[in-house]
Structure 1
Amino acid sequence: MTPGNNGASTPEDEDPFGYLYADGQANGAQPPSGGYGYPNSVSRVRTVGERPYGQQTVPPQQQGAYGQPNPHYAAPESFPGGAPTVQTQPAPGGGGRGRGPNTKGLLIGAIAVVAAVVIGIGVAMLGGDDDTAADGDQPTTPSVSQSAESSPSSESSAGSEKELPAVDAKALQLGGGATTASDIKGAKADGGVYVTGFNAVGASVTWTVNGIPESGKYTLYVGYGVPGKDANGTLTVNGTAASTPVDMKNYANAPEGDYEKGWTRTYNYVQLNKGTNTIKISCEQGNQCDANLDQVWLVKGWVE
């Protein structure tokens, strides 16, 4: 198709590019005057940033200096009715440009942690000391609390109470017809040996005890057996007779005549000197001496 040969339209209406050809120019084709495309075309070139739809256009401006806003671009919020601008504030205490980390807060936290660890170790050490005292530091001194009216159920062995010298009766100095025997069972002395023949005026056992650490109060224990009835004897310490007898009652509640069931013990309070002392138990006039003796031992202090 050539311009001017088809239809009643002018060449520029038929072919907008007819002015580029020789035959178009010969027929009077002219470049469009309204911009690119057809005359009065709706397609127009707009400057970047120009707002369409009848909004006020922003005339182009020259390129600003470095760091200045670009005139060819405007954010939507810069126009009337655009989205509001939201400004953010830096977090308090945050490290901005030119500021370092909060070293003071870190230092305080570290000190608090160290203090907590030190306190915990101190508490653990104190608790360990209490446990050690409770488990390992038990007193070695036996606690004796016996009276002359103790029963066999409350007895403890002589060995558990020995802090000072102790002796089996067979090792004592015997006098006045006293002798040793072992035919009655139940004596706690070594080999079951005990002193018999004490039931006669003048019979006695004497203990010369050495190694008393200091002068003072002591408790003298005597192991004995009676045949279901009470007995007693006279106590003499360092040549002086005590006002209180050696009370050998039937605390074991043995039947009358039964020596084997009658083993038990009694005690007397005495005053001893440092070093060597002499202790004598004898059957004197007025005593009831039907008893067998098996052990004698001392405990420091007057126990109850």
Structure 2
Amino acid sequence: MTPGNNGASTPEDDDPFGYLYADGQANGAQPPSGGYGYPNSVSRVRTVGERPYAQQAYGQPNVPPQQPQGTYGRPNAHYAAPETFPGSAQTTQSPMPGHGSGGGGGRGRGPNTKGLLIGAIAVVAAVVIGIGVAMLGGDDDKQAGEDPAATPSTSQSAESTPSGESSADTEAELPTIDAKALQLGGGATTASDIQGAKADGGVYVTGFNAVGASVTWTVNGIPDSGKYTLYVGYGVPGKDADATLTVNGTASSAPVKMKNYANAAEGDYAKGWTRTYNYIELNKGTNTVKISCEQGNQCDANLDQVWLVKDWVE
């Protein structure tokens, strides 16, 4: 039996690729005009890149056709969210943990940076205020703790470095006396021919360089019993001298040292004016202070002033 004699009802005539063979072509097999060589097949011709929307199988969700992708970085104009298609489930967007839902279309809100910024500014302000208060307090403490005694007064500096200056003005609350007001004895007298004496009118006691010569000061108005410093203004002719000190009838073991603190040349009384001091104790009220030239003293000196300072200054 030959192909084509039995009609198109034979199985071999159903071969969709019969047109590819010589015997098929002899029997009139033709290339398909539809799709893929299958008889009665549907035309599948379409534009390049286009895909047909697949038929929905039973029990399967309706899948939308894939749209062409847009340009990178730009939204696809043909895109539609899956939940917008018929029959699809609605989806909800859950906020991220730790983020609350704020305004603006339901967008998630980040941490409260404004509140953190305000808190940081408050902490910095508190620190600055604390430092300012501490600095102000430190200045007050320093001022309150300053010791007035730390700054040497005129009387304190005078005892360490004797000079010709008198502290009578700075110690006005205690008695001060010039030479001409002292009680003189033993040949002592007053004069004013040597320049440089600090006493009123330049008057000083001379003739003191002899055993028995003395000056006596009766001190009134001592406010309290206790320790005092006795200052004596004097002048020497470029060499050291000394005298005996007696307070309220009791001779002191420490002499009145009248050294050449002014560094005057020998014989120069005018350049030798300076001062010295002794520690004494006085009673409240009236006291007697005596400076005398006794046996063993070197008394070649002139005296011009005597004054007191409270306490034993150092």
Tell whether the structures are fold-level matches, with TM greater than 0.5. Answer: yes
Residue 261 of structure 2 is aligned to residue 256 of structure 1 = no
Match of 2:305 in 1: 295
Amino acid corresponding to residue 183 of structure 1 in structure 2: D
Amino acid corresponding to residue 227 of structure 1 in structure 2: P
CA 1:236/1:93 → structure 2, altered by over 3 Å: closer, same or farther?
farther
Please give the alpha-carbon distance, in whole angstroms, between the structure 1 residues aligned to 2:311 and 2:206. Answer: 30
Match of 1:96 in 2: 101
Match of 1:158 in 2: 166
Amino acid corresponding to residue 257 of structure 1 in structure 2: G
CA-to-partner distance for each residue in 1:217-244, whole Å, 9 max, x for gaps?
2221111111233322221101111122
Please give the alpha-carbon distance, in whole angstroms, between the structure 2 residues aligned to 1:221 and 1:91. Answer: 93
Match of 1:278 in 2: 288
Please give the alpha-carbon distance, in whole angstroms, between the structure 2 residues aligned to 1:235 and 1:137. Answer: 32
Residue 248 of structure 2 is aligned to residue 243 of structure 1 = no
Residue 237 of structure 2 is aligned to residue 232 of structure 1 = no
CA-to-partner distance for each residue in 1:122-168, whole Å, 9 max, x for gaps?
12313432675699967676262666xx76xx637332863743332
CA 1:170/1:133 → structure 2, altered by over 3 Å: closer, same or farther?
farther
Work out whether residues 246 and 291 of structure 2, in 8 Å CA contact, stay in contact via their aligned partners in 1: yes
Please give the alpha-carbon distance, in whole angstroms, between the structure 2 residues aligned to 1:91 and 1:120. Answer: 43
Work out whether residues 227 and 259 of structure 1, in 8 Å CA contact, stay in contact via their aligned partners in 2: yes
Work out whether residues 229 and 250 of structure 1, in 8 Å CA contact, stay in contact via their aligned partners in 2: yes
CA 1:219/1:116 → structure 2, altered by over 3 Å: closer, same or farther?
same
Match of 1:189 in 2: 199
Residue 156 of structure 2 is aligned to residue 144 of structure 1 = yes
1:116-155 superposed matches below 5 A? 116-129=127-140, 132=143, 142=153, 144=156, 155=163
The correspondence for 1:75, drawn from 69, 79, 87, is: 79
Work out whether residues 170 and 180 of structure 1, in 8 Å CA contact, stay in contact via their aligned partners in 2: yes
Work out whether residues 95 and 101 of structure 1, in 8 Å CA contact, stay in contact via their aligned partners in 2: no
CA 1:105/1:54 → structure 2, altered by over 3 Å: closer, same or farther?
closer
Structure 1: unaligned runs, 5 residues or longer = 1-50, 60-72, 79-87
1:166-245 superposed matches below 5 A? 166-245=176-255
Work out whether residues 203 and 283 of structure 1, in 8 Å CA contact, stay in contact via their aligned partners in 2: yes
- How much is the aligned-residue C-alpha RMSD, in angstroms? 4.3
Share of identical aligned residues, percent?
64
Equivalent position SS for 1:129: helix
Match of 1:38 in 2: none
Work out whether residues 163 and 262 of structure 2, in 8 Å CA contact, stay in contact via their aligned partners in 1: no
Amino acid corresponding to residue 144 of structure 1 in structure 2: Q
TM-fit CA distance, 1:117: 3.6
Please give the alpha-carbon distance, in whole angstroms, between the structure 2 residues aligned to 1:178 and 1:114. Answer: 79
The alignment's TM-score, normalised by the length of structure 1, stands at 0.59
The correspondence for 1:55, drawn from 45, 51, 57, is: 51
Q: Please say which of residues 290-299 and 126-135 is displaced more in the overlay.
A: 126-135
TM-fit CA distance, 1:263: 1.4
Amino acid corresponding to residue 269 of structure 1 in structure 2: Y
Work out whether residues 93 and 102 of structure 1, in 8 Å CA contact, stay in contact via their aligned partners in 2: no
CA 1:174/1:156 → structure 2, altered by over 3 Å: closer, same or farther?
closer
Work out whether residues 212 and 275 of structure 1, in 8 Å CA contact, stay in contact via their aligned partners in 2: yes
Amino acid corresponding to residue 214 of structure 2 in structure 1: S
Work out whether residues 163 and 273 of structure 2, in 8 Å CA contact, stay in contact via their aligned partners in 1: no
Structure 2: unaligned runs, 5 residues or longer = 1-46, 56-76, 83-92, 104-108
Work out whether residues 164 and 233 of structure 2, in 8 Å CA contact, stay in contact via their aligned partners in 1: no
Q: Please say which of residues 98-107 and 244-253 is displaced more in the overlay.
A: 98-107
Amino acid corresponding to residue 123 of structure 1 in structure 2: A
Work out whether residues 207 and 280 of structure 1, in 8 Å CA contact, stay in contact via their aligned partners in 2: yes
Match of 1:67 in 2: none
Please give the alpha-carbon distance, in whole angstroms, between the structure 1 residues aligned to 2:215 and 2:280. Answer: 17
Would you say how many aligned residue pairs link Structure 1 and Structure 2? Answer: 232
TM-fit CA distance, 1:52: 8.2
Please give the alpha-carbon distance, in whole angstroms, between the structure 2 residues aligned to 1:92 and 1:203. Answer: 110
